Each structure stands twice: as structure tokens, then as C-alpha cells.
Structure 1
Amino acid sequence: MKKVAIIQDMSSFGKCSLTAAIPVLSVMGVQAVPLPTAILTSQTEYPSYFCEDLTAKMPHFTDEWHKMGAAFDGIHTGFVTGKEQIENIFSFLHTFYKEETTLLVDPVMGDRGHMYDVFTGELIGYMKELAKRADVITPNVTECCLLTGLSYDKLQTYRSNEEYVAAVEDAGRQLQSDTDAKVIITGLNPPAPLGKRRIGNMYIDGDRSYTRFQEYNGKSYSGTGDLFASVVMGGMMRDQTPVETMELADEFLTAAIQSTSEEQIPTVAGVNFESHLRMLL
């Protein structure tokens, strides 16, 4: 059985990070090996939460796993709390990243045009360095803008689907050129002159690009990016192509979001993905 080390926080409520990645990878036939970077009572969009930062504990995982002779087919990184955590990830990669290992970096830094409070210009620089080591990067549109310098505000001024998609694709190609990684950009939300909103994802590799859209209900749920990236990682561990994994993740999340919307679940609580895990078998 293939093993994937997941370097992320664990939030008890919010269905994101480790609580999203572990069940997805498990049902896809992959052993999920968590390295928790922090423990939170709930994800940070809840009005109140407690966080225990585990930055100082991360090297113990690297050391103990190295003593065990552990090896990983994949390494999946997500939200980090500061540059010291990224430095710990670099140390982890120095120990465990091999030529045959797949590194997926989900550069969790912001959403809907806003950078998360924990991030600074210096931390963005560290995230850029981490992205350069990746085989696959899964930024959302906001994070793609932060990594490439594309203006998110300017992106919102485009009045046609074609202009919007072309601008995102140009940024994605720049990101690929900077990192030499496969790039999957999530959360494309082009203008809707006829009132029918859509949301989609874009895959870029070399001179190829592929964009897939679904209807958009106007809501942003906790953990959907984590679920998406986890499906992509699971698919790659099954030797599926990036396009195949992107389509599978899209179908899985569309079903989960629809049932969550029908039940009127608060967006901070995440999506009811559990009842749709069979789609990933």
C-alpha cells in the first residue's frame, strides 16, 4: 500500500486539513500518515477557537520516522502558521523526498481576494520556495495571484469569460515556469453577464491547459480546497492523470456541496463529503 505523509493542521470542527485528507486518501486505497502542524478546536473562520501550535514538535516526527526507516510515495503539504514550519518542511523533504516521491504543495494563503492574517510578504517568499520543490501545486485563484503578482482586483474587472480565463491561464503558465510543476488552479469564478454564475478549475502542464466549470451557488465552504487537493494526491497514487483526478475531485465536491446546500449547513462547518466517499473508490 502506498503511503502519503500529510503535513497539515488538525481542526476538530470545519472538516478541513487532516480531517478532510485522511478519509479521502484512505478510501482511495492510500495510507495517510499525518504530521500535525497545529491542533485547533475548530478552523479559524469560527468566531472563537483555541490553537495549539506544534511547530517545535515537527522535527520529532522527522527524526522518529527516519529512525524507523520510513519511506513515502507522496508528501502533501497544506496550511502553515509561519516560516519556521516551512523550514521544518524543508528539513522533512531533505530526509524523505526521493526521486520517485510525489510532492503536492497546496499553498494555503488566502481566498476570495484576501490573504489570511498569519501571512506576510516574507512568508509568501518562503511559500514560493516551497512551491519550487513541488511536483504538483494546487493554488486557488487568490493564491495564484499571491504567487505570481497577478492583481486579483484587476481580475474582477474583466467582463467576459474569455478575458478572465486567459488572464488566469497566463498567471498559471508563469507559476509553472517559475516552479516547473504541474499546476491546478481552483475556484475560477468568471463574470456572469447573463446572471448564471459558474465556478471551475484549470489544469496547466507545458503547452496544454484544461478548464472545467460547474454551476456556482455563491457560497464558499470550509475545507473544499483540502478535499480537492487530497483527491488529486490520491488519484496520482493510483497512477491516474492530473486531468482524471481533477475531474473526479470536481464531481465529488459538486455532489457534496449540493447535498450540503440542500441541508442548509453553515459554510464554516464544511461540506457533507462523507456520504459521497464511495465516488472515490
Structure 2
Amino acid sequence: MPSLISVQSQVCFGHVGNSAATFPLQLLGIDVHAVPTTLLSNHPAHPSVYGREIEAELLEDLLKGLSERGAFARSSGLLSGYLTSVANGDVLVRALKDYKKQNPKGVYILDPVMGDQGSGLFVREGIPDLIADQLLPLADIITPNKFEFEILVGAKAAGYPEMISLARSLMIAQSINCVVITSANASVEEGRNTESGQQGRTAVLVIKKNSAWLLETPLFDQHFSGTGDLFASILVGWVLKGDAVEVAAQRAVTAVYAILKQTTASGSAELNLITNYKCIFKSGDLFTLKIV
């Protein structure tokens, strides 16, 4: 059975971070070692939130325990998401270097959670630099949204050809194998700006050294926290099961769209993962991979 160390936020109510990732990964047959960077009552988009970040010393102890139980040496991959502090980021960097030393074939998937189009940055000062300078060089696959991608490359990308060019330059500079950009169309606002009342579109761009693919889906008017965490987890799950990244992305896009469609229809304000768990395995009518 493949296993994954997942270092992300955790909530008691709703589905973001590890609380969005663990269940889908387990359904896909992945043994998940979930390590929290925060422990909160709910995500901060609600009127109130309680809890706190995991202190650096505690985070280091949790990762040390996993290493001593053999999880570093045996886990097929390590996924990291939201970080609450530079101190926690430093702990993660040290753990990753140890993970890579113990497990050279292990895959590190970096979801560089920093912000989004419209809302801007929502992480503390110093975290974007830590991600760019210390985590990127260790990553095999990265899954930024377009806003985060532009921060990592230090440039605006006007269209898909420019995104592909910038991504490949980043891949060469940092020895990254694949870049997966979510919300890859210029902005959420442009995605919704369609004529004749047609539903807007959103896109995922998968970039390798010699190939690139585009996945487009209808865009929902309602925003759901945790969508990116859910996408990254399903993508990682299929990669660990042996799929090429572009096929894993195709499966993840299709699954997330199906869950969002059912969640919207139900009127829920939170991702409805449990009721719609079968969407995670959806294999028919996959969204089309377009070569770009």
C-alpha cells in the first residue's frame, strides 16, 4: 500500500488542508500520515475561528516520531500545504532534507499555499520567500494557483504560452519535474466574463519539460474553501498509484468538479465530501486533456 506524509492545516469543522485531503487519499488506498500545521475549529472564512498554530517544537517532534517509526524511509511521497510561520517552515525544510536522504525515490509535492487572485496574500511575511528559496529546490511536483505561480517566478504571465515558458525556466532552475497550475486562466473575474449568459470557465495547466496539457471546466459562482487542497490530494493519490501527472490531474479535475456540482446543488457552504465520496473514483466522462 502506498503511503504519504501530509503536512497541512487541520480543522474540526469543514474540509480544508488535511481535513480535505486525508479522506480522499484513504479512499484511493493511500495510507496517510497527517501532520497538522494548525489545529482550528474551522477555516477563517467563517465569522469566528478558534484554535492555534502548531508550535515549531511540536511540529518537529511529530515529524521526528514519523521518522523514527520508519515513515520517512517507507512513504511513497510527502505533500506540504499551508504553513503558519517561518519557524514551522524551517522545521519542514529540515524534515524534507532528512526525508530525501532516507528515501531518495520519495516524491515531494509542494502545494505553495500563499494566496489567491483578488484576495492577495494571506500568509505571514517571510513565508513566500521561504517557499521560493528553500522548498522549491526540494520539490518534484508543484501545484500553485496562477497567483502563487506568478509570485514564485517573479513575473506576470499573460497567457498559456508565457506560463509554459516561465514554468519551464523554473523547472530547469530548481530541478522540478512538473508544474500544475490551477485557476490558470488569467483571473476569476475574466473566467466569469462571458457573453450570452454562458457559464464561465476555469482551467488547470499541466507542464512538463517537453509537453503541456490544458484542462478546462465550467466555473461555479460560489467559492468553496479547500478546493485546492482537495485537488492536490486526489492528484497526488493517483500519482502514487502509478498514473502520469497529466492523467492524475485529469482524474482530479473531474472528481473535484463532480463534488463541487453536487455540493452546490445541496446548498452546503462546505465541501460535501462524505456524501459524494463516489465522485473521487469517477472514471467515466473525464474532462478532456488538450495538448498546448
* Common topology (TM > 0.5): yes
1:14 paired to 2:14 = yes
CA distance in 2, matches of 1:193, 1:57: 49
> Does structure 2 conserve the Cα–Cα contact (< 8 Å) formed by 1:12 and 1:43?
no
Q: CA deviation at 1:46?
A: 1.5
CA distance in 1, matches of 2:107, 2:147: 24
Instruction: State how 1:41-56 maps to structure 2 within 5 Å.
Output: 41-55=41-55, 56=57
Structure 2 partner of 1:159? none
Q: CA deviation at 1:166?
A: 2.8
* Matching residue within 252, 258, 279 for 2:255: 252
Instruction: State how 1:80-99 maps to structure 2 within 5 Å.
Output: 80-97=83-100, 98-99=103-104
**Aligned-partner SS, 2:96:** helix
Instruction: State how 1:113-192 maps to structure 2 within 5 Å.
Output: 113-120=118-125, 122-128=126-132, 129-151=134-156, 164-181=159-176, 182-190=178-186, 191=190, 192=193
* Matching residue within 176, 185, 202 for 2:205: 202
Change (3 A) 1:217 1:66: closer
- Runs of 4+ in structure 1 deviating by more than 4 angstroms, as ranges, are none
> Does structure 1 conserve the Cα–Cα contact (< 8 Å) formed by 2:21 and 2:233?
yes
**Aligned-partner SS, 1:219:** coil
CA distance in 2, matches of 1:217, 1:280: 19
Tell me the alpha carbon deviations over residues 87-130 of structure 1, each in whole angstroms, 9 at most, x when there is no partner: 1111211222221101100000001243333332x321110120
Structure 2 partner of 1:64? 65
Q: CA deviation at 1:218?
A: 2.8
Tell me the alpha carbon deviations over residues 46-101 of structure 1, each in whole angstroms, 9 at most, x when there is no partner: 12111322132011122222332333111010000111111111121122222110
Tell me the alpha carbon deviations over residues 13-45 of structure 1, each in whole angstroms, 9 at most, x when there is no partner: 231111111101100111000111110011122
CA distance in 2, matches of 1:168, 1:225: 19
> Does structure 1 conserve the Cα–Cα contact (< 8 Å) formed by 2:83 and 2:127?
no
> Does structure 1 conserve the Cα–Cα contact (< 8 Å) formed by 2:258 and 2:279?
no
Which letter maps to 1:243?
A: E
Structure 1 partner of 2:38? 38
**Aligned-partner SS, 2:202:** strand
> Does structure 2 conserve the Cα–Cα contact (< 8 Å) formed by 1:114 and 1:142?
no
Structure 2 partner of 1:158? none
Which letter maps to 2:10?
A: M
> Does structure 2 conserve the Cα–Cα contact (< 8 Å) formed by 1:253 and 1:273?
no
**Aligned-partner SS, 1:13:** coil
Q: CA deviation at 1:193?
A: 5.1
CA distance in 2, matches of 1:42, 1:20: 12
Paired residues in the alignment total 267
1:103 paired to 2:108 = yes
**Aligned-partner SS, 2:224:** coil
> Does structure 1 conserve the Cα–Cα contact (< 8 Å) formed by 2:201 and 2:216?
yes
Tell me the alpha carbon deviations over residues 184-215 of structure 1, each in whole angstroms, 9 at most, x when there is no partner: 00012344453541001000000211011011
**Aligned-partner SS, 1:36:** strand
Change (3 A) 1:22 1:69: same
Is there any run of 5+ residues in structure 2 with no aligned partner, and where? Answer: 282-292
CA distance in 2, matches of 1:80, 1:205: 26
CA distance in 2, matches of 1:106, 1:10: 15
> Does structure 1 conserve the Cα–Cα contact (< 8 Å) formed by 2:85 and 2:124?
yes
CA distance in 2, matches of 1:172, 1:69: 34
Change (3 A) 1:69 1:165: closer
1:2 paired to 2:2 = yes
Is there any run of 5+ residues in structure 1 with no aligned partner, and where? Answer: 156-162
